[in-house]
């Protein structure tokens, strides 16, 4: 688990979050918006990377309100073929006005042969 920073610009437009999981892994997740102390939790996106639905959401708050909020990416990731020590990679891209904040996605990557629980926080 880690806390990352992708500071939104209060003067800019809506904030979009995109998830992408490489190496053909199965990842099911919920994206939860919350205050720093964990209060006011709001699930903004639920899904799995193997369906045909986009793993992307426009956060339901204006940019000035998002300042100081945290987005938790909470989920479970499994290799399809258990027992294989495969690399996995989760990319979390936070964008505003079509530009990627921080210039590049947050990348969570490691090797695993079993299911792993994922919990990453992004300070907005």
Partner 1 sequence: MRKRGVIAILLSALLLPPAAQAQSDPQVTDSKVGNFTLDLAVPESPAFTVLNLTPSTVSRPSSVQQLATSLLNGVDQNGNFQTGVALDFQPYMLMYGRLVTWNKYAAHYATRFASRTMVSVGTTKGASEADKSMRVALGVRLTVFDLGDPFRDQKTADCLAAAHSTALANVGLPVPPPKASQTTIDAYQAAKMKQLAPLETVCRVDQEERARKENWNNSSFIVAVAPTWTSPDGSSSNLSLAGAGYWTSLSYGFEGLPGMEDTSQFILHYRHRRNELIPTRTEGGPSFEQDSDTFGMRLRVGSANGTGSFEYAFNQRRVMGQPDDTSHRFAFAAERRISGNTWLTVSVGSEDGRADGAGGGFVLSSLAWSLNDRP
* 31, 92 contact by CB (below 8 A): no
Q: How many residues bind partner 1 (CB under 8 A)?
A: 61
Residue written as token pair 């956060």: 59
Give the span between the Cα atoms of 55 and 48, in whole angstroms.
8
User: Does 44 participate in binding partner 1 (rule CB under 8 A)?
Assistant: no
Q: Would you say 70 or 96 has its CB closer to partner 1?
A: 70
Q: Do residues 8 and 50 make contact, with C-beta atoms less than 8 angstroms apart?
A: no
- CB count within 10 Å of CB 113 equals 12
Q: What angle is formed at CA 50 by the lines to CA 69 and CA 38, rounded to 5 degrees?
A: 20
The stretch near partner 1 (CB under 8 A) out of 7-15, 23-31, 56-64, 94-102 is: 23-31
Among 52, 98, 103, 104, binds partner 1 (CB under 8 A): 52
* 9-17, 33-41, 56-64, 93-101 -> range binding partner 1 (CB under 8 A): 33-41
Does residue 99 belong to the site contacting partner 1 (CB under 8 A)? Answer: no
Q: Does 21 bind partner 1 (CB under 8 A)?
A: yes
- 122 C-beta neighbours (distance < 10 Å), count: 23
Residues that bind partner 1 (CB under 8 A): 1-3, 20-30, 32, 34-38, 41, 43, 46, 48-52, 70, 72, 74-78, 80-87, 89, 91, 107-121, 123
């Amino acid at each position: 688990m880690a806390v990352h920073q992708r500071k939104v610009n209060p003067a800019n437009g809506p904030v979009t979050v995109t998830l992408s999981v490489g190496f053909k892994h199965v990842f099911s997740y919920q994206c939860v918006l919350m205050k720093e102390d964990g209060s006011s939790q709001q699930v903004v996106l639920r899904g799995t990377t193997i369906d045909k639905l986009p793993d992307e959401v426009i956060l339901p708050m204006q940019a000035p309100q998002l300042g100081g909020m945290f987005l938790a990416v909470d989920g479970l990731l499994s290799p399809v073929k258990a027992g294989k020590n495969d690399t996995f990679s989760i990319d979390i891209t936070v964008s505003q006005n079509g530009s990627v904040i921080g210039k590049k996605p947050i990348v969570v990557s490691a090797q695993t042969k079993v299911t792993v629980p994922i919990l990453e926080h992004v300070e907005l």
